[in-house]
Amino acid sequence: MEQQQMTKKMEVKGISKTFYNKNSYFTAIENVSFDVKDGEFLVILGPGRCGKTVLLNIIAGLEEKTEGAVIYNGKEISGVNPEVGMVFQKLALMPFKTVLQNVELGMKFRGVPKAERHEVARRYIDLVGLKGFENSYPTQLSGGMKQRVGIARAYANDPKVLIMDEPFGQLDAQTRYSMQNEILRIWEQEKRTVVFVTNNIEEACYLGDRIILLSDCPAKVKEIYNIEIPRPRNMVSKEFMDLRAKISDNTDLAI
Ligand SMILES: Nc1ncnc2c1ncn2[C@@H]1O[C@H](COP(=O)(O)OP(=O)(O)O)[C@@H](O)[C@H]1O
Ligand SMILES: [Mg+2]
């Protein structure tokens, strides 16, 4: 009930994407529509190579759409939306820059003065639990720590909506569980809208206020689930397992 009263931050309306080559074409996304509510933790769940990254890039304005519209705060957006931040699947931290310098990079490009940059970067480095590693280089960090740097870097740019593209896909199971809890803690503290993409049903059920379930290629919205299970969620509780089974029965995912 509460969720239905939340205001719409974004509307993804009838998005389709077809890639045209010389002699052929390929439709990755077909008529995808859903809302993103202000402050919610929205999960997009779909199988590998179904078009999730293409869809996120369209939502962020990094990729052209073939059809449809992306509405942000009631207005149609074309081009890059500066209020949307991304944590990419492949993080691409700058190897010769320290954690602090990596987190500051976006602010530096925007001409934020040095003292302010430092202060904001340090705040987010603390928030993601990397205090003391400001001067470390990416090669000195574990996979989970690098992911934390990517999250701090995205938050430091002050996005109103944070999009995360399978951020934990490369992590071992133990690190993944702890990062799932971390991202919920940060979301609860920051109260910003999150759009989180995964191909993992359990992760989707653990994190989301809602799950947009996509079909295999071309990506279409198969179902939208409202998740009422209170947090922290217990992955072996009956209600959790029931939800997981329900979604599992409705997918082509091999999980
Ligand atoms: N620039 C492109 N040109 C042609 N096909 C593309 C392009 N980008 C992505 N695709 C295709 O679109 C499909 C979806 O890709 P992607 O969104 O990366 O999937 P995923 O769900 O794993 O993130 C894939 O089959 C991919 O090959
Ligand atoms: Mg992808």
Q: Tell whether ligand 1 has an atom less than 6 A from the beta carbon of residue 19.
A: yes
Ligand 1 centre and the CA of 51: distance in Å? 6
Angle between helices 143-156 and 114-127 (to 10 degrees): 130
Dist. CA 98–CA 101, nearest whole Å:
5
> Would you state the structure tokens that stand for residue 23, as one six-digit string?
């002699």
Quote the mean pLDDT of the chain: 93
Superfamily of domain 1-77+191-255: P-loop containing nucleotide triphosphate hydrolases (3.40.50.300)
Please classify residue 13 by burial: count the beta carbons closer than 10 Å to its beta carbon, then call 0-12 exposed, 13-18 middle and 19+ buried. middle
The answer to whether the CB of 29 is under 6 A from ligand 1 is no
pLDDT digits (tens, 9 = 90+) for 209-248: 999 999 999 999 999 999 999 999 999 999 999 999 999 9
Q: Where are the alpha helices (DSSP H) in the chain?
A: 2-5, 52-60, 99-109, 114-127, 143-156, 173-190, 201-207, 238-249
Q: What confidence tier does 159 reach under pLDDT thresholds 50, 70, 90?
A: very high
Evaluate if residue 113 carries a pLDDT over 80. Answer: yes
Residue 1 has pLDDT above 70, yes or no: no
Ligand 1 mutation target, pool 21, 50, 52, 54, most atoms within 8 A of CB: 54
* HEC assignment per residue over 182-220: HHHHHHHHHCCEEEEEECCHHHHHHHCCEEEEECCCCEC
Q: What is the pLDDT of residue 89?
A: 78
Whether 17 is in the pocket of ligand 1, judged by its Cβ within 6 Å, is: no
